[in-house]
Amino acid sequence: MAAEAYDRFMGRYSAPLAQLFSDLAGVEPGQTVLDVGCGPGALTNELVKRLGAESVSAVDPSRSFVAATRERYPGVRVELAGAEQLPYPDRTFDVTLAQLVVHHMADPVAGLTEMARVTRRNGIVAACVWDHAGDHGPLRLFWTAARQLDPGIDDESLLAGTSRGHLAELFRSVGLGAVEDSILTIAVEHPSFEDWWEPFTFGVGPAGGYLTSLDPERQNRIRQRCREMIPTVPFVVEAWAWAARGVVSA
């Protein structure tokens, strides 16, 4: 259920993002690639399409996500591990990727250091994170409504990599070279308000966890405020992700 709930909540945005992110990283046939923090496999799916399962490895600290990714993508080597302690020798992969993960790392510097360690010399390390600190994250409508009712909430805006340029700063701090930062933009149409709203009630991620921690009356107040902010349907959610790409030079 955890994998299906995540698919409904964030997968609707992370799947189209995976295509753009893979292009940014220069993923192409013949490479070996590691998907760090794979979740239930949004990026893994794109990598398997491009490279074949035998060229893709993945890790995640969630047992349920590891199980789901193993089931969905036979042939992909999926390990239970966090970014800060990757279970691979030095210089194992051509490309190491972290899609929508850096801001959830317990120690982003340690996680990116490990990503660089397991990547071959002149290989690519890349990461992307939603623009939660700005006005273009996919959850901005929800967090705007929630802040209007509770200005002191933790709305993900202070997490690592969620603001312009921060991912690139982190990349440079761990010694990656030729660092470039970019904006990846996706657009997802929702046919109805309920199609957009229901996944928030699954308790997934900080937004879902915040909503489900509230009593029914306060949940309904946020729901109604969100509905007021969406005057017509269908509607499109456009979202930015900050992305950085660097080269392992030592």
**3 state SS for the chain:** CHHHHHHHHHHHHHHHHHHHHHHHHCCCCCCCEEEECCCCCHHHHHHHHHHCHHHEEEEECCHHHHHHHHHHCCCCEEEECCCCCCCCCCCCEEEEEEECCHHHCCCHHHHHHHHHHCEEEEEEEEEEEECCCCCCCCCHHHHHHHHHHCCCCCCCCCCCCCCCCHHHHHHHHCCCEEEEEEEEEEEEEECCHHHHHHHHHHCCHHHHHHHHHCCHHHHHHHHHHHHHHCCCCCEEEEEEEEEEEEECCC
User: What confidence score (pLDDT) does residue 21 get?
Assistant: 98
Residue 206 CA, distance from chain mean position: 13
Whether the CB-CB separation of 134 and 163 falls below 8 Å is answered with yes
Distance CA 143, CA 39 (A): 23
Q: Which of 118, 109, 120 is nearest to 175 (CA)?
A: 109
Per-residue CA distances from 217 to 123, 153, 220, 235 (Å): 52, 17, 5, 26
Whether the CB-CB separation of 177 and 121 falls below 8 Å is answered with no
User: What confidence score (pLDDT) does residue 179 get?
Assistant: 98
User: What confidence score (pLDDT) does residue 1 get?
Assistant: 60
Q: Which of 240, 137, 239 is nearest to 181 (CA)?
A: 240
Distance CA 191, CA 17 (A): 20
Tokens of 177: 């070279």
Whether the CB-CB separation of 127 and 99 falls below 8 Å is answered with yes
User: What confidence score (pLDDT) does residue 245 get?
Assistant: 98
Distance CA 72, CA 170 (A): 32
Q: What is the pLDDT of residues 78-90, one digit of tens each?
A: 999 999 999 999 9
Q: What is the pLDDT of residues 49-81, one digit of tens each?
A: 999 999 999 999 999 999 999 999 999 999 999
Residue spans of the chain under pLDDT 50: none
Please state the pTM of the whole predicted model.
Answer: 0.95
User: What confidence score (pLDDT) does residue 176 get?
Assistant: 97
